[in-house]
Structure 1
């Protein structure tokens, strides 16, 4: 499932997306074994994507002051060669623009969740040879920023559609959960208009079989052949909810509490259009159902440019700056 993706060095269209997690109370051993939730997720997560290597990145504190948003999903951690994590696989993990942005956000009273993966770039999943090695790469990032949550954006075909790598990621997340009590783990992946495709369903089944104990399953409802973003987002979430209920035995409320939505503001690669009003409608529906998180791709694009098409630094539609972020802050 593709998302607006710009391959930055070549400035060619290739995009990437998405979103982030939610706090859960501790589960006992029987809960971890069965995947059943013992309590509702403690807090909703509203964390739109911010990308410091692309799309004229804004000052995060300025966006916070203008909108009330308090958290961002920072894109993307990938491989700088082998099993070594770096921002975009090229910028240093610490001491660069990304770390500076994280400090700015925290100094303004906010926080971040890093996203591993995305569409383009060299991924850690295929490069780390074992679940333990991959968990070690995740741990380096957790330790560097004292993280409370991580997002795995599993959309690249080398990760999502490769069963060996998919299982490696899910097994690594189990290790992360075991070694970091209380950390929130999120997986973000593409969808059809009626819910996860067969590969997405496999990911959910394997997360139970491997004891991954994922907190939030986030769908990316865009670039999925939509004729009505609101209706098709609702349809996708309802399909995921039914799959989570059947896999884990959760109630409807429990299933909704483990679901996130990560949309695409303005125009998608397929020219699907999400207006500010539509995003507000999705937010209100998701909030009413008790969804765990809401994100979108991206804050960099949350600026108006009617007729601008699908570009890196604006939405392609008429809007006021940071309008989608302001909607998200009300989640």
Structure 2
């Protein structure tokens, strides 16, 4: 995220997974689940398990505040209850003093106390029941770990900020050059892990949120690398907060900001499941959702044709609440107001207004609905290995589509069932597991459609009787109109060809000489109706 205007400047190591005491309630859950599996069967226990192990989530809302922006935003006197918790932005390295924390590279903490009265304003916020969170990094300056290469000094710099503002939660907004710097990323992860340990030894909690850019397809490769580095170093991440904004070319034509943002969250959820699994930490789907935060840029985004509207905010909040995300934020509280009449071009982003007509409505109030938790209370939660639901045994009699098989050949659009879910093929595939844990969605030929629903039965599939057409042979030539079988599908030649596999018709239908027979055509064959004149293929002599 960008602080849009500021005054001029005057070898990872694995940490053991934390464990909790087993409460009486958790013991009861374990006993009952065991009984459910033994007496009720694997599939019957699955749906019960999903509700019984849902974590208690107390999601919180906090809007970002650009501390150094002008005019100064009075976060200490929030306009509504939604503004009582704030993410103060951004602590970065002071220009020319690589290990000295500063606000926007313009003010040291002492200078901010004097020039911005920041300490007193934070104290007033706390008197009124609000909580400050400090965000490190941002788009425009060096995050401390990028410029400060001495790990002892770096840890001391972070610690000084935590102590100064009495923080239970910190936010690391890592983007642009800070995210691309791999050495800085490793250093950051190692130091934050050590910092978290020292806070724990002192009897204090330190929740760490990692804020990263996102596309509708999920986190970038640099983003997943950053999460992996933190997990490898042993950081107990409170969660990953994704910046659902400024999608640019990654947003497909006609895709709404709401749809792009919910897609980004769904893909991030999938990616976190893979990352935690690789770190040998088992988490349920519900817990993974609780480890995700969302931060839209309200109103006009930096990309001109991207506008996050009040209706988008309402829809986004409903999605976030329904899925049990742990956090909602926004960029920024400074901007949560209609632009004045003197601000002529609302397509140009302002740091003090949203660029859309809001009337008396505030984005913060819409996004904060049912997000009433406390960041400080959430900071007491630790990550533990969880018992995952048993793998579903697929039943052909209760599955709407065929059960996936490693020997099967699946064309574009083919639907299969695997482990209780329905998947659709994005292109021709054979031997690719539908639930293969890949970080990037383009690395799998399958799209998850959704679960098999109770009461479903197999969808009738028209198949050509065995022997109706010859099996396709790469050595034969096929005149126009020839029909063949490959795998479980029937094809018809659009023109003379040799050596062109019919399977390619799925991925490149325009250039393939083959077209797959439709269900109607197959049903006509089964009914005994005349088919097109069949021309026998010609076997090409060897040599």
TM-score, normalised to structure 2, is 0.53
Q: Decide which of 51, 70, 73 is 1:58's aligned counterpart.
A: 73
Larger RCO (CA within 8 A; separation ≥ 6) = 1
**Cα distance change on mapping 1:8 and 1:30 into 2, 3 Å:** closer
SS in 2 for 1:31: coil
Q: Kindly indicate whether residue 159 of structure 2 is the aligned counterpart of residue 139 of structure 1.
A: yes
Aligned partners of 2:71 and 2:157: how far apart in 1? 28
Q: 1:135 Cα shift? A: 2.0
- Residue of structure 2 equivalent to 1:276: 310
Aligned partners of 2:102 and 2:155: how far apart in 1? 15
- Residue of structure 1 equivalent to 2:291: 258
Aligned partners of 1:39 and 1:165: how far apart in 2? 36
Q: 1:82 Cα shift? A: 1.8
**Cα distance change on mapping 1:68 and 1:239 into 2, 3 Å:** closer
- Residue of structure 2 equivalent to 1:317: 356
**Cα distance change on mapping 1:121 and 1:247 into 2, 3 Å:** closer
Q: Kindly indicate whether residue 92 of structure 2 is the aligned counterpart of residue 78 of structure 1.
A: yes
- Provide the aligned length of Structure 1 versus Structure 2: 305
- Residue of structure 1 equivalent to 2:17: 31
Aligned partners of 1:321 and 1:186: how far apart in 2? 32
Q: 1:142 Cα shift? A: 0.6
Q: Decide which of 192, 202, 210 is 2:225's aligned counterpart.
A: 202
Aligned partners of 1:208 and 1:39: how far apart in 2? 23
Q: Deviations for 1:241-262, whole angstroms, at most 9, x for unmatched residues?
A: 1111112132211110110011
Q: 1:213 Cα shift? A: 1.7
- Residue of structure 1 equivalent to 2:240: 217
Is the 1:70–1:329 Cα contact (8 Å) retained in structure 2?
Answer: no
Q: Kindly indicate whether residue 108 of structure 2 is the aligned counterpart of residue 92 of structure 1.
A: yes
Q: Decide which of 178, 199, 224 is 1:180's aligned counterpart.
A: 199
Is the 1:69–1:328 Cα contact (8 Å) retained in structure 2?
Answer: no
Aligned partners of 1:283 and 1:85: how far apart in 2? 34
SS in 1 for 2:215: coil
Is the 2:299–2:354 Cα contact (8 Å) retained in structure 1?
Answer: yes
Q: Decide which of 277, 284, 292 is 2:326's aligned counterpart.
A: 292
Q: 1:9 Cα shift? A: 3.9
Q: Decide which of 111, 116, 128 is 1:108's aligned counterpart.
A: 128
SS in 2 for 1:176: helix
SS in 2 for 1:270: coil
Gaps in structure 1 of 5+ consecutive residues = 11-28
Aligned partners of 2:360 and 2:81: how far apart in 1? 10
**Cα distance change on mapping 1:93 and 1:4 into 2, 3 Å:** closer
Aligned partners of 2:72 and 2:328: how far apart in 1? 20
How large is the RMSD of aligned CA atoms in angstroms?
A: 2.2
Aligned partners of 2:56 and 2:152: how far apart in 1? 27
Aligned partners of 1:242 and 1:130: how far apart in 2? 35
**Cα distance change on mapping 1:164 and 1:205 into 2, 3 Å:** same
Is the 2:57–2:290 Cα contact (8 Å) retained in structure 1?
Answer: no
Which has more radius of gyration?
A: 2
- Residue of structure 2 equivalent to 1:69: 83
Q: 1:322 Cα shift? A: 6.4
Q: Decide which of 43, 46, 54 is 2:61's aligned counterpart.
A: 46
Superposed, which structure 2 residues align to 1:301-312 within 5 Å?
301-305=335-339, 307-309=345-347, 310-312=349-351
SS in 2 for 1:279: helix
Aligned partners of 1:246 and 1:269: how far apart in 2? 31
Q: 1:45 Cα shift? A: 2.3
**Cα distance change on mapping 1:229 and 1:301 into 2, 3 Å:** same
Q: Deviations for 1:138-165, whole angstroms, at most 9, x for unmatched residues?
A: 10011111111000000131x2001100
Q: Mean alpha-carbon deviation: is it higher for 126-135 or for 226-235?
A: 126-135
SS in 1 for 2:303: coil
**Cα distance change on mapping 1:41 and 1:153 into 2, 3 Å:** farther
Is the 1:67–1:329 Cα contact (8 Å) retained in structure 2?
Answer: no
Q: 1:69 Cα shift? A: 3.0
TM-score, normalised to structure 1, is 0.85
Aligned partners of 1:67 and 1:311: how far apart in 2? 24
Aligned partners of 1:285 and 1:220: how far apart in 2? 16
Q: 1:42 Cα shift? A: 5.3
Aligned partners of 1:136 and 1:303: how far apart in 2? 38
